[in-house]
Homo-oligomer: A and B are copies of this chain.
Amino acid sequence: SNADTGPVLYGYAQITGSNQFGTHGPEGLIFGAHRIRLGVKGEAVPGVTYNFQYKWDGAYVTSPLNKTLGVSSVPGSSSGVQEAEINFGFIPAFQLEVGKFRVPLGMERTQFSGNNLWFIQRSMNQSLGADRSAGAAFHSPDVMGTGIYYKLGIFDNHSLNGNNAFNSGNTAIPFGAGQSGVGMAPVGGVLSNGSGHYLFAGMLGYKLNPLLNVEISGARADAKQFTALAASKNITAWNVGARGGLMGLKYMAEYSADVSPNGIEGAREQDWYVALAANLHEMTLTPDWLDLEPAVRFEKFRMVNNQTGVDASLANTTIGLNYYVNPNNPHAAEVQLNYVVPTQTAYWRTHRVAPVNGYIYNTLALQFQAGF
C-alpha cells in the first residue's frame, strides 16, 4: 500500500497472444506485450505518500521496428510517466492529492488497476471517461468510518491520455498566453500559464458491505479555447456503477453517458455493461491448488450525432477464464483467456473504426501476467 514507509518497488508485465476470425484477410496468432510497468511508492515523511509509475506499454514495438515498417508510429506503443502522485494525508477525511493521476470518473477505471482486471481489456466506457490528467484533488477513501468515499478534482482542461472524451483538438490545449507552450518556451521546462479553463470531476461512493458498493461520478470540461472550432461544445460525462460479491461470486455494472464527447456539437455517447465472475477456488469447487475463475461480460456502446445523423451501436459479449497460479498471491502470476463475440458491427467495419477496447471481429485473446 501507499503507506509503506520505504520505497517499495513494484511492477508487472503482460504478454499477449491474439487471433481474430472472419476478417476476410490474413489471420493468425500475434504476440505482444500489453502493459509493462515499473513503479515506486512509499511514505516520504509521516503523512506524505507518493506513487510514481513508469510505463513501457506496447513494447512489442521498438524504434528499429518502426523504421522497418516505414511508419513514424505504431499503434499501442506508449512509454512515459503513467502516474506521479503526491498525497498529503494529514486530515484523513480531507486529503490533498497533486500530480498526474486518474480523474475521478468511472468505477472500473478508478477501482481496478491494469493488473487486476477481470478481463484482458477494460470495458468500452473508457472512451467516455477522462483517464488521467494533471491536477489536484481533495479526497477520502472512507469518511470517518462511514463507508462513504469521495474525490473532488480540478485538472488542466483535458485528459493527458488519449482515446477518450476529454482528449481532443477541440478542448485539449491547456495553456494560456505569455510563457506557455505556444510560441515561446516555458520556464525551465515548466508551463507557466494556464488557459483559465478547467476540467472538474467529482465522485461520491458508498461501500455498504461486501455485497454492495455504489458510486456516482461526473466530469465537465470547457470547450472554449483559443484554437477551438466554432461549433465545439463543453463536454459533460456521467457514470453510475455498482459492484459487490460474496463467497467468490462477483458482479459489476456501470452506465455511462456523455454529452458533446471530444467537444463535438450534437454528439452523445452511452455505454452500459454487466459483468459476472465466479471464483471456483473461493467457492471451494476446485482442488485447493487450482484457482480458476470463469467470467462473462455483456456490454453495449452507442454513439449518436444529431448533426451527421449517425446512430451506431456495438455490443461485445466476452467470455473469460482466469487462472491464478498461486491462490495466495493471485495477480503475481496469472493467465487470462478471453473470447469476444461482437454484434451490431456493420457501421464499425464499414468505417474501419472501433470504440476504445471494443472488438468488431470475433477474437481469441490470451494473456500471461507476472508481477512483483
Contacts and interface: CB of A to CB of B under 8 A. Distances in A.
A47 interface: yes
B333 A190 contact: no
Contacts of A247: none
Oligomer copy total? 3
A241 interface: no
A151 interface: no
Interface residues of A, number: 129
Contacts of A371: 44, 50
A70 B169 contact: yes
A269 interface: no
Interface in A321-372: 325-326, 329, 332-333, 352-354, 356-361, 363, 365, 368-372
B7 A7 contact: no
Contacts of A62: 78, 80-81, 160-162
Given A45-B333, A75-B185, A359 B7 contact: no
A59 B80 CA distance: 7
A76 interface: yes
B60 A160 contact: yes
A297 interface: no
A256 interface: no
Contacts of A189: 34-35, 57-58, 75-76, 78
Contacts of A60: 100, 134, 156, 160, 191
A49 to B, nearest CB: 8
Given A365-B190, A370-B86, A59 B75 contact: no
Interface stretch (A8-16, A141-149, A229-237, A276-284): A8-16
Contacts of A167: 64-65, 68
* Most chain B C-beta atoms within 10 Å of own C-beta, residue among A81, A163, A226, A363: A81
A272 interface: no
A273 interface: no
Given A32-B134, A187-B357, A65 B99 contact: no
A46 B372 contact: no
A346 to B, nearest CB: 15
Given A25-B176, A172-B68, A40 B9 contact: yes
A241 to B, nearest CB: 19
Interface string A85-123: 010000000000011100000000000000000001110
B370 A48 contact: yes
A36 interface: yes
Contacts of A70: 169
A38 B54 CA distance: 10
Contacts of A35: 189
Interface of A: 6-7, 9, 11, 13, 15-20, 22-36, 38, 40, 42, 44-50, 52, 54, 56-65, 67-70, 73-76, 78-81, 84, 86, 98-100, 120-122, 134-136, 155-156, 158, 160-163, 167-169, 172-181, 183-198, 226, 325-326, 329, 332-333, 352-354, 356-361, 363, 365, 368-372
Q: Please name the 9 residue pairs, one residue from A and one from B, whose CB atoms are nearest each other, closest first.
A: A25-B177, A64-B162, A28-B196, A30-B194, A23-B178, A28-B194, A45-B326, A59-B81, A26-B176
